[in-house]
Amino acid sequence: MEPPVDVSDPETTPTDTTSPVSPPVSPSELPVEPPLVESVVEPPAPRRSDRPFVDSDHFVHQYFLPLEYAIIIPVFAGVALLSLLSLFVGSVMLKSRKKNKKA
């Protein structure tokens, strides 16, 4: 059995390089793993059909409503249609109830 070694004394520190404990490694020396996603896929270039037919400063645009009306008008029309439909169904139900009470 070997005598205990004083680690603080450099003369008695063993220089055996076959020890199972490896010296500390800085993060820059660690192997770099490849990223999980190999590459970012670029979107395809716009096709000819994706571009507007007329430039945005063309005079014809003055005859059309702004783009936000493409949302506002159908929503308003849908709400109005559902309201009128529910009023019609409600009035039919009330009329049929009155007929049943008289009979």
Identify the weakest region by mean pLDDT among 7-11, 62-66, 99-103. 7-11
Q: Which two tokens stand for residue 55?
A: 């430039």
Q: Which amino acid is at 101?
A: K
Instruction: Give the CA count within 13 Å in the CB-facing half-sphere of 10.
Output: 0
Q: Where are the alpha helices (DSSP H) in the chain?
A: 69-102
Q: Is the entire prediction scored with pTM above 0.85?
A: no
Read off the pLDDT of residues 67-77 as tens digits, 9 standing for 90 and up: 899 999 999 99
